[in-house]
Amino acid sequence: MKTVLVTLPVEERHKPKLEAAGPDCEFIYVGLNGATTELVQQADIILGCVPAGMIQASPRLGLLQLYSAGTDPYIVPGVLHENTVLTNATGAYDKAVGEHAFALVLTLQKKLHRYRDAQNAHRWTDFGQVCSLSDCTVVVVGLGNIGLHFARLCKALGATVIGVKRRPGPCPEGVDELCLTDELDSVLPRADVLASFLPGTGATKAMYTSERFAAMKNTAVFINCGRGNAVKTEVLIDALQSGQIAAAGIDVCETEPLPENSPLWEQENLLITPHVSGNFHLPDILEKIVDLSAANLRAYLAGEPLRNVVDFETGYKR
């Protein structure tokens, strides 16, 4: 009998679906923060995320189905045994994170964050000109499910959308132009909005440099809902303070949680949310991940192909 450790925040109504996918398994439900090293080492299958340090390359662990799209801690050599299959939750967060990023863009372009600050200070203040997304060129870096959902929202309001991805392929619906990552510098001067949805890999670390911000319009907005280490904190602060870009909205930071004394908090033209665009705040995220987990559990036990198997070299699903 295989032991299935479930760290998803499931409700009672979800359990029959999971248990039907593994009728001969023993299920242990511990919730988001209930895993222990002992339980992890005893698990044949884990549905959810656990601290990477608890896994210790356990040879018993056959399948780790994450509830995150990001895989950064788990693809580090030595974390997982060579026989462990890693699958992620790509496809569960497109609506939640895409809409969050879209809201950040509109908030910054209409200066709503500054009006909220003025409201809190009881000040009746006019902050002047705003811009319309329909007149903008939006560069979307990372054209996976989330980036593509965001791109289509922007396109629906009339923006010109340029998608940036690692591999060549057909231009998807909702995107006007497609270019490869190594062509990013050629499109930065055209960007009114630069939106990043990149995972955390060696290739994406500190990708947004001072030189790249300097190449952008000084009226441009930068959005980061991918990984915080794609831009160094001091580089982002300098871009905001020097006027290289007009504003930024970030759901991720280089250091999380963001320390209370970080100068990022003090930037008037920066809107920060504390890595909440995904999580389980939108109810259908949990439903999608439970369905995916049940499907992959059933497939794994039957020796059939799994969805969202992660490539350890890239950190993306294959």
- How do residues 188-198 score in pLDDT, each as one tens digit? 999 999 999 99
**202 pLDDT higher than 90:** no
Rounded to 10 degrees, the C-alpha dihedral 177/179/185/189 comes to 0
Superfamily of domain 94-272: NAD(P)-binding Rossmann-like Domain (3.40.50.720)
Rounded to 10 degrees, the C-alpha dihedral 266/269/275/278 comes to 160
Half-sphere exposure in the Cβ direction for 2 (13 Å, CA): 21
Domains 3-92+281-302 and 94-272 share a fold: yes
Q: How many residues does the chain have?
A: 318
Would residue 256 show up in a list of annotated catalytic residues for this protein? yes
User: Which entry of 113, 149, 152, 227 is annotated as an active-site residue?
Assistant: 227
pTM for this one?
0.94
Pick from 195, 254, 258: nearest CA to 230: 254
Is residue 67 within 8 Å of 91, Cβ to Cβ? no
Dihedral pair phi/psi, residue 23, rounded to 5°:
-65, -25
Rounded to 10 degrees, the C-alpha dihedral 137/140/143/145 comes to -90
| pLDDT recorded at residue 114 | 97
Domain assignments of the chain as residue spans, ordered by start = 3-92+281-302, 94-272
For residue 126, the tally of other CB atoms under 10 A from its CB is 7
CA distance 273 to 104: 9
Beta strands 137-141 and 85-87 are unpaired
Would residue 227 show up in a list of annotated catalytic residues for this protein? yes
Looking at the DSSP assignment, which residues form a beta bridge with residue 240?
A: none
CA distance 48 to 6: 6
User: Which entry of 60, 81, 190, 275 is annotated as an active-site residue?
Assistant: 275
Beta strands 193-196 and 221-224 are parallel
Q: What is the dotted CATH code of the domain comprising 3-92+281-302?
A: 3.40.50.720
| pLDDT recorded at residue 185 | 98
Average pLDDT score over residue span 50-64: 98
Pick from 147, 145, 234, 138: nearest CA to 191: 138
Confidence of residue 203 (pLDDT cuts 50, 70, 90): confident
CA distance 243 to 217: 9
Q: What angle do CA 73, 77, 80 make, to 5 degrees?
A: 70
Confidence of residue 301 (pLDDT cuts 50, 70, 90): very high
Per-chain mean pLDDT for the chain: 96
| pLDDT recorded at residue 316 | 78
**312 pLDDT higher than 90:** no
User: Which entry of 183, 211, 234, 256 is annotated as an active-site residue?
Assistant: 256
| pLDDT recorded at residue 200 | 80
For residue 91, the tally of other CB atoms under 10 A from its CB is 16
| Sign of the alpha-carbon torsion through 56, 59, 63, 69 | positive
Would residue 81 show up in a list of annotated catalytic residues for this protein? no
- pLDDT over 90 for what percent of the chain? 94
Structure-token pair, residue 244: 């290289």
Dihedral pair phi/psi, residue 9, rounded to 5°:
-80, 60
